[in-house]
Chains A and B, each alone.
Chain A
């Protein structure tokens, strides 16, 4: 502070002046940029359009894009402050090899040398690659080719397995292909909106204004989430009893004739098996499993069954389960029984997590080959090999290890090198001890991230600094299959490079550039090839160009050449992607979750998000206003339990599971959690809920069962009612 300021001659009035921005009007002069860059938000998969204000090469402001069809100018608190993360103090600036700063040439040379040495010694599959949902589609497409063909390892997956794998697997089993069938417009048109394990008010706030105000909103959630608080009918069901509820609804729909027999006959298979199976899921039985009343179960079934149009949305409450994929099948059953799919207002719909999880599902070659081509299909492999001009033998005939299996294989010493891209398993993986073991056992660990240090980059032998949202070009595809442009507004900091440039650099050093990526210099080259590769597939991008995307604020696939912009739904004709064109109905048993409470671990522990933060906070932890609004983790506990344990508001407690413990978490007493249940946000590395969560996985989707585990609570620090 200078003397003029100390004396008060200067009160920084220039810094706090106001003037009019030509586009957004009167605002603090310091926030008025030289120009605004149109782009798409890089946090969640709602896919909001936004503008980044750039002054002197620095991003100084963000505003919602009023012309964008998704968000119509509004953003959530993370979006409104997104520019701060570009200037974060924790950005990765230089390649770091074993603690020492090195040049890019040495970094890439070391990566390729180490990976090829390990692959030559232990076999191609000894390299595991774990990517993300945060890159642009162009980068996913490039990485998929580089991993599967360039490095020749199919042990390549993404953190999307921690997130949407159950939806992917569920869609594939029911419909024959991945791909959320509906559109956000369905939220505006539905008569009944049924949200299961989806707290959109917290996690996808910009979907809330899209809800049809006249619709009956039903929310199934064991916790009175912000979304449950908005519901017309909240179903506070027991943790993991959602399958029973869904089966019970199916039972009532069938018994009372509220199902669409003609649709079922024409477009589905497995009805008789399902009918026989759900006969035992009587309302009384379902009531005993869920804790809901018979009347309420019947009412919800009737509302859904009788509605002209009905939308079922879900997120992690469904996916984060050892029965995640099956729960998705049970949801899809309801839509198929009533024919409530492929029509305005009617869809089963997974509300995706990451900004471009969809991009990697479609183009990344992890859970399927690009364009939803099946690994197992000789026809699909031959098709892709022809398009890529490679030998068909170079394509894997089955999917490689999924993310958790890569980690377990590394822990067991079967995978010897790991390349982790834009994800932070040291915070996000369930039962983190397993990741520690995996990292300790690999011979070479590369972590490519926009931020350093993170708990994961700190373990890396080689850290590659990457550009992030706002620093690179490409496209993101959102939950409703809308592909929107992500545009570069500013230069990456330090020596950070775009992931695209890193992959291309690796390909060149590896010697596969000319064969796989000939003449590629910018992401647009990848997009052009991806358009071509997706042609004729369900996720058809072939009619999209960057220019059309800019013009329309994104376009929904399928968008073949010559397609008209507008709302697109899948399966409007009732023709599904299974070979016989029919969708499958599944008989799904409701099983108890694996980590059951007992006297030693009496609580059911549930984790989730808060609106102010994103994932493991590598980004939002660097945004001061978000840190101020939500500075630390907490544990929600019902006052009934607190009284029993002698715990007061703001006391600190340890949370202990059969695996590990989280120490010193501040207690929040609230009636929004049930007695016997606990809730904790998972964002905070400092108090990491994933020390205690269970590494149990869905046998179908391989998604972790984050949502329910048994814990006990040990009070440690008592507050005396006075904040220190």
Chain B
């Protein structure tokens, strides 16, 4: 069939098409041993043992079956992925390699999600060692999504609660392999038993390129990795985080109320200032519940005050609210108890503000985990309190100057840090909004001061870059 073939172009030695030489190695970077016959342990964990994942990077071919199988197993919508596959690359063409990291929950020895939870929705199962989450106890505060440096707990907006990988414990206990393990064509994911004490003493195999440092929570996932040095592929791109608008409103207004109550103690006629502060506090409290996936159960947040800074914040602000009510009531009644009530309110308010800031001091979010967070929260009270009390403006101006300094020092530290999350936060921060925030701080009016603090808090939330497992070059990141 002699049909016209397009005329052949110039012959040539392909000078525009450089190719490399031969790969320098005869040893394949990947294993091609037969997939293991058995992918889960023969027996249940003994005392002192727990289940853990083993992920073998040298077996994984990057087919993404585990991710799809996980979502099918758990009936999760596509934007929730309890198992995610990330990418790492190394080498120079043609000796280049791409490896993959398939990660579910690491079922840590010291789970950060569990420690922060205000409602005790998490438990580390005493028999299996699995970190299990109870959706019925959860109130959807999402604090665990900030605490986990692996991005494991994910907030399900449809349900108003968090969910996470439970290693398909229902399948495991029936002798079946988890969905991801089962779906893997090359047997790269397995479940193993690990001695908790031995692992806690030596968990080097939990660390790998693209993984946050394992010591924070003692991840139990064992990772078999190739010998070549590997780089993340997702680093050039950093996304803004969720602004958490109810929390912006809540924290700024609560700090405004605390500042006004404290200021009112120095005033001759504190009645109206205290009353306005009381009103502002009510708005702040109402806003705080809007952050919850299940606001009806907000009261449960008090439960874990011995362990969780979130519970402590709720407790202290609840007491602050009570003391403020008493303060305002006694002021209007002209009672002599007004001053002690006011002092109590101010102390509780400041303590609540400190507790509030401590929520954000988590290793998984390095740009938050700095003294500047606490300083900033307290200075917000100091800037706004005097302005909205109508007195002591020099205090407000001094506080604004301190706030400005705090911001600049924080920015300098972020941008000079060796930590990638710090640098990335600095990159996100640097921009017109940050400049506007600083300029607004310098303008001596109440409304610009308030605007400066709202804007500052917005930037605080959106420019934090969480630690996370390496994602793919094109991963769609979900704000936590």
B185, A230: Cβ atoms under 8 Å?
A: no
**Chain A residues within 8 Å of B29, by CB:** 229
- 14 residue pairs bridging A and B, Cβ less than 8 Å apart: A8-B293, A11-B136, A16-B74, A74-B65, A77-B65, A205-B63, A222-B19, A224-B96, A596-B11, A604-B17, A676-B18, A721-B236, A721-B427, A723-B477
Contact of B171 with A25 in the complex, beta carbons under 8 Å? yes
**Cβ of A230 and Cβ of B64 under 8 Å apart?**
no
Within B231-262, the residues touching A (CB, 8 Å) are: 233, 236-240
CB closest chain-A residue, reference B161: A11
* B8 contact set on A, CB distance < 8 A: 591-592, 594
Interface residues on A, range: 35 or more
Q: In this assembly, does A532 line the interface, its C-beta being within 8 Å of a C-beta of chain B?
A: no
CA–CA, A33 and B262, complex, Å: 63
* B interface SS class: loop
**Interface mask (B204-242 → A, CB under 8 Å = 1, otherwise 0):** 000000000000000000000000000001001111100
A645-686 Cβ-contact flags toward B at 8 Å (1 or 0): 000111000000000000000101011111111000000000
Known: A80-B65, A697-B3. A721 touches B174 (CB 8 A): no
Tell me, yes or no, whether A239 is within 8 Å of chain B by CB: yes
Query: What's the minimum C-beta distance from B435 to chain A, rounded to whole angstroms?
Result: 16
Confirm or deny: B272 has a beta carbon within 8 angstroms of a beta carbon on chain A.
no
Chain A residues within an 8 Å CB radius of B65: 74-77, 80, 205
The yes or no answer to A99 lying at the interface (CB within 8 A) is no
Partner-contacting stretch, out of A85-93, A208-216, A247-255, A335-343: A208-216
B21 adjacent to chain A (CB < 8 Å): yes
Which B residues are in CB contact (< 8 Å) with A77? 63-65, 67-68
Most buried by B among A213, A295, A603: A213
Are A722's CB and B68's CB within 8 A? no
Q: Does A390 contact B (CB under 8 A)?
A: no
- B62 & A11 in contact (Cβ 8 Å cutoff): no
Whether B294 pairs with A292 at a CB distance below 8 angstroms is no
A419 at interface by CB-CB < 8 Å: no
Which listed residue (B72, B74, B240) contacts A61, Cβ 8 A? B72
The one of A62, A695, A702 in contact with B1, judged by C-beta atoms closer than 8 angstroms, is: A702
Interface string of B450-480 (1 = CB under 8 A from A): 0000000000000000000000011011000
B287 within 8 A of A: no
Can you add 20 more A-B contacts, CB < 8 Å, to A6-B295, A11-B161, A719-B236? A11-B138, A11-B293, A27-B72, A27-B179, A30-B75, A62-B72, A201-B62, A230-B61, A236-B23, A292-B22, A598-B10, A598-B16, A625-B67, A625-B71, A670-B98, A699-B1, A699-B2, A719-B237, A721-B238, A723-B477
Q: Name the interface residues of B171-190: CB closer than 8 Å to any CB of A.
A: 171, 174, 176, 179, 182-186
Neighbouring A residues of B193 by C-beta, 8 Å: none
The interface residues of chain A lying within 8 Å CB-to-CB of B73 are 27-28, 31
Shortest Cβ distance from B184 into A: residue: A74
Q: B159 at the A/B interface (Cβ < 8 Å)?
A: yes
The answer to whether B64 and A11 have CB atoms under 8 Å apart is no
Q: Which residue of B lies closest to A651 (CB)?
A: B236
B20 contacts A291, C-beta separation under 8 Å: yes
- Asked, given contacts A18-B170, A205-B63, whether A293 binds B186 with beta carbons under 8 Å apart, the answer is no
CA distance A25 to B174 in the complex (A): 8
B294:A11 contact, CB within 8 angstroms: yes
With A205-B61, A699-B5 as contacts: A628 and B98 at CB distance below 8 Å:
no
- Nearest residue in A to B58 (C-beta to C-beta)? A230
Question: Which residues of A have CB within 8 Å of B12?
Answer: 592, 596
B7 within 8 A of A: yes
A-binding segment of B30-38, B105-113, B345-353, B361-369: B30-38
Complex contact B237–A721 (CB within 8 A): yes
Q: Answer whether A226 and B62 are a contact pair too, CB < 8 Å, given A28-B73, A208-B186.
A: yes
B14 within 8 A of A: yes
Q: A8-B297, A650-B236 are in contact. Are A597 and B16 (CB under 8 A)?
A: yes
Check B64–A671 contact: CB distance below 8 A: no
Q: Which of B18-71 contact A (CB under 8 A)?
A: 18-23, 26, 28-30, 32-35, 61-65, 67-69, 71
